[in-house]
């Protein structure tokens, strides 16, 4: 049994929380295979609450044919799906913000890994407006951000101006955070209708395609990284927005619903 059981910090990634819990109880975190049910048992916190506050399941389900208009509790194989039980993150690396580390050490005595720093396409800290720092994915289950070995900035110096001067990227970031907290998925057909109507408002009587609009809305370096198919000669880019959270948010951000 663990002698020290403490709550997760706001927006803390479940993997980082597990590392803190295990390390402070002097038990190294050996595997993440059944992390979610194990933490639910140890802490007494319900699985649905851990998923909603500390995992990326809501983000992944932002728009879903399978789970349209359903809550997280209806997720298939909730206690057996490996991505859910291992609390996997949707990024290939772990990220942290150097300014958040300073704030966290001042406020909590430690730094911790945040979910909102691991949203694909969002390479900056929305609080401090600086590039995130990339480190190894293993760092999240082996050390605190303050002790992680930095690999590189998530936004290179060459890309920084284009990135931070792009309104579509900040709309995309806001939608990404909103998706992270969504408990009930949207209905894809309604989303498609909403996009079509807004597209017609912005570009009446035109045949412009989404890919063309994306090229005008986002920096080329950002699109090359996240939509490389747009730049492959002879490739066929699907014009109908696919049923993934990432593409829906890119489409919504390009159309700019706040501008009238």
* Residue 48: per-residue pLDDT: 87
Please check whether residue 180 is in contact with residue 59, taking contact to mean a CB–CB distance below 8 angstroms.
yes
Q: How far apart are CA 168 and CA 104, in angstroms?
A: 29
**pLDDT value at 12 more than 50:** yes
pLDDT given for residue 208 in this prediction: 62
Please report the sign of the dihedral spanned by the C-alpha atoms of residue 215, residue 217, residue 219, residue 224: negative
Give pLDDT tens digits for 137-194: 999 999 999 999 999 999 999 999 999 999 999 999 998 999 899 887 777 777 777 7
What pLDDT, on a 0 to 100 scale, did the predictor assign at position 1? 66
Answer yes or no: are the C-beta atoms of 12 and 21 closer than 8 Å: no
Cα–Cα dist 148/136, whole Å: 8
* Residue 15, CA distances (Å) to 34, 103, 165 in order: 11, 21, 33
Q: What is the reported pLDDT for 169?
A: 95
Does residue 79 surpass a pLDDT of 70? no
Report, as an integer, the average pLDDT of 112-121. Answer: 96
- Average pLDDT in the chain: 85
Q: What per-residue confidence (pLDDT) applies to 260?
A: 36
Instruction: For residue 233, report the phi and psi dihedrals to the nearest 5 degrees.
Output: -55, 130
Over range 34-51, report the average pLDDT: 92
Higher-pLDDT residue of 260 and 230 is 230
Residue 197: pLDDT band (50, 70, 90) is: confident
pTM: 0.86
pLDDT at res. 76: 66
The residues, any chain, with a CB within 8 Å of residue 208's CB and separated by 6 or more, are none
Which of these ranges, 21-30, 77-86, 209-218, has the smallest mean pLDDT?
77-86
């Amino acid at each position: 049994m663990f002698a020290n059981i403490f709550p997760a910090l706001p927006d803390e990634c479940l993997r980082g929380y597990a590392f803190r819990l295990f390390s402070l109880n002097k038990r190294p975190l050996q595997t993440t295979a059944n992390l979610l049910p194990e933490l639910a048992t140890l802490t007494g916190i319900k699985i649905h609450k851990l998923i909603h506050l500390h995992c990326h399941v809501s983000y992944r389900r932002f728009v879903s044919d399978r789970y349209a208009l359903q809550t997280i509790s209806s997720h298939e194989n909730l206690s057996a799906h490996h991505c859910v039980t291992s609390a996997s993150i949707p990024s290939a690396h772990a990220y942290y913000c150097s300014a958040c580390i300073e704030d966290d050490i001042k406020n909590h005595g430690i730094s911790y890994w945040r979910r909102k720093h691991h949203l694909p396409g969002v390479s900056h800290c929305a609080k401090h407006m600086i590039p995130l720092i990339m480190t190894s994915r293993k760092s999240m289950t082996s050390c605190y951000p303050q002790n992680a070995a930095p690999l590189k900035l998530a936004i290179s110096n060459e890309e920084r101006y284009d990135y931070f001067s792009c309104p579509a990227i900040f709309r995309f970031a806001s939608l990404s955070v909103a998706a992270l907290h969504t408990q009930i998925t949207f209905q894809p057909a309604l989303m498609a209708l909403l996009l079509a109507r807004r597209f017609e408002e912005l570009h009446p009587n035109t045949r412009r395609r989404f890919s063309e609009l994306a090229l005008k809305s986002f920096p080329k370096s950002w699109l090359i990284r996240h939509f490389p198919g747009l730049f492959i000669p002879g490739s066929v880019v699907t014009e109908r927005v696919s049923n993934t959270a990432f593409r829906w948010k890119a489409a919504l951000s390009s159309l700019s619903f706040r501008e009238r």
